[in-house]
Structure 1
Amino acid sequence: MKTIPDQIADIKETLPDLTPTPPGLKVQASSHDLKARLDWGEPGLTIIDVRDFESFNKSRITGAVPMPMDELVERAKSSLEPIRDIYIYGETDEQTAEAANLLRAAGFRRVAELKGGISAWKVIEGPIDGAVEHGNPGPDAYNVFARLEHHAKAQKIHK
């Protein structure tokens, strides 16, 4: 006669697996692949932007960390585990592939190249951060007096 734990195990094997699982990591990932993982709410990944700091500051995938090509391996080794899921993108698919290969050669085993980079991400309306995306406030943005004065003038025009 089987023990109760064995009986339970047998019953579990006959049941369908209804537990949803997040999409897996692909060597070459689309924006949809990354967005599906983020929509799943899975925090176990890192998004790396290998473009220069100026491009990163202008526009980037929300949550991406800057690691320019010349610092990539050193910064990744100092801050990431080699088994971490990494999505990486650059200015072009060629730069992305080069960066991914550098990480793989450095021992990172789970690296996905985000095909189309930030342009493809914008096409699917993925969340974006940066000065270009949210506007550069300009010199009078924090000048309360100037803003009130502008508001008062606008109110007079509309009356």
Structure 2
Amino acid sequence: MSDPQTTNPIAEAKENVAEAVPTPPPQQMPESSAQALKSRLQWGEPALTILDVRDRAAFNQGRITGAIPMPMAELTDRATASLEPQREIYVYGDNDQQSNQAASQLREAGFESVSVLKGGLTAWKAISGPTDGPAEQL
């Protein structure tokens, strides 16, 4: 016979388990247009970082003014060593596929706010966004 003062272990366990919360679906990769980024820079919003994930030779030939070179092979290590996970990051590469891949790597490394600059440097130049590099002197 069981003692009536004894509690039911199953009921007790249920009371101590946190309420189940469904896992949210993975978010779509945010993308930003060149115009949206240019507008933010013109408004003087300093709390963002632009990463150029192309190889060093491409970076040296021309880049968005203020972009930081972080080639794909070094991206995760360099970003985690030098940027805060809450930092707002814009990424561009040779093409949108490379940019999306870089953004995925950064998100997997724990970065919370990563946007792909749709169209990359080509789109940036098309709206006369400021650039640096010897190619601009042609």
Matches for 1:70-81 after TM superposition, within 5 Å = 70-81=73-84
Which residue of the partner structure matches residue 37 of structure 1?
A: 40
- Structure 1 length as normaliser, TM-score? 0.68
Residue 52 of structure 1 aligns with an amino acid whose one-letter code is: D
SS at match of 1:46: strand
Runs of 4+ in 1 over 6 A off after TM superposition: none
CA distance in 2, matches of 1:122, 1:103: 25
Taking every aligned residue pair, what percent have the same amino acid on both sides? 57
Residue 105 of structure 2 aligns with an amino acid whose one-letter code is: L
Give 1:134 shift.
Answer: 2.7
CA distance in 2, matches of 1:51, 1:96: 9
The match for 1:62 among 60, 65, 68 is: 65
Give 1:68 shift.
Answer: 0.1
The match for 1:86 among 81, 86, 89 is: 89
Which residue of the partner structure matches residue 110 of structure 2?
A: 107
Which structure 2 segments of 5+ residues have no match?
1-28
CA distance in 2, matches of 1:89, 1:125: 16
Which residue of the partner structure matches residue 30 of structure 2?
A: 27
CA distance in 2, matches of 1:91, 1:81: 25
Number of aligned positions between the proteins = 110
**Greater RCO (CA < 8 Å, at least 6 residues apart):** 2
Residue 101 of structure 1 aligns with an amino acid whose one-letter code is: S
- Structure 2 length as normaliser, TM-score? 0.78
Which residue of the partner structure matches residue 117 of structure 1?
A: 120
Report the structure, 1 or 2, having the larger helix content: 1
Which structure 1 segments of 5+ residues have no match?
1-25, 136-159
Q: CA RMSD in A?
A: 1.0
Give 1:85 shift.
Answer: 0.4
Q: Deviations over 1:56-76 (max 9, x none)?
A: 000000000000000000000
Give 1:27 shift.
Answer: 1.2
